[in-house]
Chains A and B, each alone.
Chain A
Amino acid sequence: MYLLAELFPLVRQVRLPINRDRAMLMLLALMQMGMAVEAYAGHQISGTIVPNERTPVVFGALAALTLVLSGVLARRHHMTAALLATITFLASIAVGLLGVYFHLRRVVLPAAPAGQLFSLHRLIWAPPFVAPLMFALIGVLGLSAVWRESPPDSGVLMLPGARRLFMPLSKTRALFLWVGLAFLATVVSSVLDHARANFINPWLWAPTLVGTFAAGVTLVMGFLERPSRSELWVYLIAQVLMLVIGPIGALLHLQTNLTAGGGQWVLERLLRGAPVLAPLLFSNMGLLGLLVLLDPAD
């Protein structure tokens, strides 16, 4: 079901150069590179990137390149490209989950006295455990996009050797759920980060409200068999809000760092202060959410 055409029937007359899956894969490749840069900046704050911390930096860059290569190969060698992308996304899931483990290790202290093993305070101040989860979510979204669904919205994926994999949900509904969970991870990460600043600045509530709204709306879309036009409008507005809140956040983070630095560019403030790139994750997610509305047919 071409959901965007339900809202804007005229778009049926526009022939896009790439299909939904390809567009999503391109965006995910870009996000892998963005995650590599963000991981580099985040791990740089102690002044030294130790071996474990290099993994997401190197992997993110390599994954982006591999996905681009896979995109190039896709026209003539579809199966090879799909396998290459599948391996990359599986690795992305592994890197993400490992990152979550390493970050959570700073929160849960197994040798601490019982009753003090975990605290919300440490969850807020420890390395952000949700950030690496993005690698895993990118991996899952990528796996959903790599394999062709035939017929569209059937939940039947075409595998090598003409085999078929029957999924419990259509690809569109699965994408709604995964994107919704990615929204949820994004907003939880943002709330934990902003809790450091005690939510004193009213602007800190903007991503909290927008992110929560978008996560709720997007997850609910995954529950709907056939969303109505009005429901699609609400969904579209939620995605646009996510798209807009990103650059606003990036500018506000930049402004905070500049103010703290006496109006001057201080690299340390950019690295260790409010993370300038992080709010753009909202925009990336919003864009992913919009892509789900594209025509599922090739």
Chain B
Amino acid sequence: MAETGPPFRSVRLLLLGGATVLLVLGMALMAMAIGRAAIPAERARVNVLARSDNACAQCHRDNSPGITEQYGHSTMAVAAVTCQDCHEVPEAYPGSVEHEGTYVLQSPSTARCETCHQVQVAQFNASRHGLPAYVAMTGVGMLTADQLTQYESIPEGGFSPDKSRNALYELEGPAITRFACEPCHNVGSPHPDGSTGQCQKCHLRHEFSLEQARKPETCNACHIGPDHPQWEIYQESPHGIAYATGGATWNWEAEPGTLDVTDMPAATCATCHISGFGAAPTSHDVGDRLTWYLFAPISERRPDWEVNLSQMQAVCAQCHNAAFVNELYTAADAATEAVNAWVVESNQIMAPLQDNQLLTAAPFDEPIDFAYFNLWHHWGRTAKFGAWMQGPDYVQWHGAYEILHDLAELRALAAEKLGE
């Protein structure tokens, strides 16, 4: 029978059939997604570069396979960010080196990270992890005029009461400091292209894993030892015990900006200081939630400390009631003031020696220099950190007790020099 309708009318069935197919496919996808909800999140590691024809991946698969293996498992590789996107630069780019017919940065600068992570880099640049970390080691002499302006605009840059760490850096020399000071303090080092800092100190290359960046062991790389034993204090604290005993079950890969106590039921370094948690937004400025300059010999309140306090307490409030938090803050404020008073006392002991030029001009060349420095730099800071982070042994035996010991030693050494 001949068709009498207008052209295309016979396509009707095809269209309706197509719609049915899409409906069924959509329903199937929904059923699979809902079904997946009943099983734990997939943990399969996929190397997305396994069969890549990217020139870098192909060559480095043989020459430095660890790097390609790591990067193949990174979320950046999943997002189709190539090796070239971070490493390859124009020939004239400051700090570039020739490599297989191209020009690359061996260690990409923050200017490269900033291409996709502007907010994070801006926050980092305003933080103590930026230029102040570097200047604490080298002093300001290495900075350009722009970098000096940037440094002075950072709270820790404007408040830099102690220069003795620069003196130690000079005294020990590059053979030692290359392995001692620099691995940590270079977190804020300037790059030839003018940018500052090393994101990869915390976001270890080349996996750039959320889990790795969030776990306290990452902070442990630097925040350890007698001068700032935050790692040891954390392990002793209730938060650290919760992490040690239950951390294996926490949701370390939770989407940034959505973290809450269901992902991490106790605090880590990251949740308190930088992660978006509770009413506190994510920050890459590690000083954003701090009320005191605890690193200083005599601690002072930070600028905008009330704002910082509300940010930190918004995190605390996820688990603790206001009375608990306020009591801790009042008590820790008092502990900070008590340590300040001891450091003031140590300054008073040293003042007549300085006034009468009874100290040598060279730093760290006589026992009294070490006793004076250890008192605040090791024990004073440890006692303060211990109080705020709830590590009793570090407030007492590695803190206050050592301060009292050094005060006694200082008095004896000063009396000897004064001929008393």
Indicate if B260 sits at the interface (CB-CB under 8 A): yes
Residues of A within 8 A of B258 (CB): 260, 269, 272-273
In the complex, the answer to whether B282 meets A268 with C-beta atoms within 8 Å is: yes
How far is the CB of A34 from the nearest CB of chain B, in Å? 22
Residue of B nearest to A45 (CB): B257
In the complex, the answer to whether B33 meets A109 with C-beta atoms within 8 Å is: no
Residues of A within 8 A of B9 (CB): 155, 166, 168
How far is the CB of A244 from the nearest CB of chain B, in Å? 21
Residues of B within 8 A of A17 (CB): none
Most buried by A among B15, B33, B50, B54: B33
In the complex, the answer to whether A268 meets B276 with C-beta atoms within 8 Å is: yes
Residues of B within 8 A of A267 (CB): 281
In which size bucket is the chain A interface? 35 or more
In the complex, the answer to whether A46 meets B116 with C-beta atoms within 8 Å is: yes
**A-facing mask of B1-16, CB < 8 A → 1, else 0?**
0000011111110011
In the complex, the answer to whether B15 meets A169 with C-beta atoms within 8 Å is: yes
Indicate if A230 sits at the interface (CB-CB under 8 A): no
How far is the CB of B121 from the nearest CB of chain A, in Å? 9
In the complex, the answer to whether B30 meets A109 with C-beta atoms within 8 Å is: no
- The CA of A215 and the CA of B22, in the complex, are separated in Å by 11
In the complex, the answer to whether B257 meets A272 with C-beta atoms within 8 Å is: yes
In the complex, the answer to whether B37 meets A112 with C-beta atoms within 8 Å is: no
Most buried by A among B49, B281, B314, B318: B281
Indicate if B83 sits at the interface (CB-CB under 8 A): no
- The CA of A111 and the CA of B38, in the complex, are separated in Å by 29
Residues of B within 8 A of A200 (CB): 37
CB within 8 Å of A: which of B19-60? 19-20, 22-23, 26-27, 29-30, 32-34, 36-38, 41-42, 44, 46-54
- The CA of A219 and the CA of B8, in the complex, are separated in Å by 20
Indicate if B279 sits at the interface (CB-CB under 8 A): yes
Using a Cβ cutoff of 8 Å, how many contacts connect chains A and B? 152
- The CA of A273 and the CA of B318, in the complex, are separated in Å by 17
**B-facing mask of A152-168, CB < 8 A → 1, else 0?**
00011000000000111
- The CA of A5 and the CA of B317, in the complex, are separated in Å by 57
In the complex, the answer to whether B6 meets A177 with C-beta atoms within 8 Å is: no
In the complex, the answer to whether B281 meets A268 with C-beta atoms within 8 Å is: yes
Known: A169-B12, A195-B33, A266-B281. A212 touches B48 (CB 8 A): no
Q: CB within 8 A of A106: which of B27, B37, B80?
A: B80
Q: CB within 8 A of B116: which of A48, A191, A273?
A: A48
Residues of A within 8 A of B52 (CB): 111
Known: A47-B118, A195-B36, A212-B27. A116 touches B46 (CB 8 A): yes
Q: CB within 8 A of A121: which of B42, B53, B118, B119?
A: B42
Residues of B within 8 A of A124 (CB): 33, 36
In the complex, the answer to whether B279 meets A106 with C-beta atoms within 8 Å is: no
Residues of B within 8 A of A112 (CB): 46-48, 50-51
In the complex, the answer to whether A168 meets B12 with C-beta atoms within 8 Å is: yes
- The CA of A124 and the CA of B7, in the complex, are separated in Å by 42
Interface pick from A56-64, A179-187, A234-242: A179-187
Residues of B within 8 A of A119 (CB): 42, 44, 46
Indicate if B150 sits at the interface (CB-CB under 8 A): no
Residues of A within 8 A of B34 (CB): 191, 195, 199, 208
How far is the CB of B384 from the nearest CB of chain A, in Å? 27
In the complex, the answer to whether B276 meets A120 with C-beta atoms within 8 Å is: no
In the complex, the answer to whether A177 meets B257 with C-beta atoms within 8 Å is: no
Known: A47-B118, A273-B258. A264 touches B50 (CB 8 A): no
Indicate if B221 sits at the interface (CB-CB under 8 A): no
Q: CB within 8 A of A113: which of B50, B282, B317?
A: B50
- The CA of A199 and the CA of B38, in the complex, are separated in Å by 9
CB within 8 Å of A: which of B297-320? 314, 317-318
In the complex, the answer to whether A166 meets B7 with C-beta atoms within 8 Å is: yes
Residue of B nearest to A125 (CB): B255
Indicate if A13 sits at the interface (CB-CB under 8 A): no
Q: CB within 8 A of B33: which of A50, A114, A169, A192?
A: A192
Indicate if B78 sits at the interface (CB-CB under 8 A): yes
- The CA of A106 and the CA of B75, in the complex, are separated in Å by 10
- The CA of A199 and the CA of B27, in the complex, are separated in Å by 16
Q: CB within 8 A of B279: which of A48, A177, A261, A272?
A: A261
Indicate if A262 sits at the interface (CB-CB under 8 A): yes
Residues of B within 8 A of A222 (CB): 16, 19
Q: CB within 8 A of B26: which of A188, A223, A266?
A: A188
Indicate if B256 sits at the interface (CB-CB under 8 A): yes
In the complex, the answer to whether B118 meets A48 with C-beta atoms within 8 Å is: yes
CB within 8 Å of B: which of A213-271? 215-216, 219, 222-223, 260-264, 266-269, 271
Indicate if A77 sits at the interface (CB-CB under 8 A): no
Most buried by B among A47, A105, A187: A47
Residues of B within 8 A of A180 (CB): 19, 23
Residues of A within 8 A of B42 (CB): 119-121
In the complex, the answer to whether A166 meets B8 with C-beta atoms within 8 Å is: yes
Residues of A within 8 A of B188 (CB): none
Known: A45-B257, A192-B33. A50 touches B47 (CB 8 A): no
Sample of 14 A–B contacts (CB below 8 Å) = A109-B46, A121-B41, A123-B33, A155-B6, A166-B9, A168-B11, A169-B15, A192-B33, A195-B36, A215-B26, A219-B19, A219-B20, A266-B276, A272-B258
Interface residues, chain A, with chain B CB atoms under 8 Å away: 45-48, 50, 105-106, 109-114, 116, 119-124, 155-156, 166-169, 177, 180-181, 184-185, 187-188, 191-192, 195-196, 198-200, 208, 212, 215-216, 219, 222-223, 260-264, 266-269, 271-273
Q: A111-B48, A191-B34 provided; 18 other pairs, C-beta below 8 A?
A: A46-B116, A109-B46, A109-B78, A111-B49, A114-B51, A121-B42, A122-B78, A124-B36, A166-B6, A166-B7, A167-B8, A208-B30, A215-B23, A219-B20, A222-B19, A266-B279, A267-B281, A268-B257
Among all A-B residue pairs, the 5 with the closest Cβ atoms? A272-B257, A47-B119, A166-B6, A111-B52, A121-B42
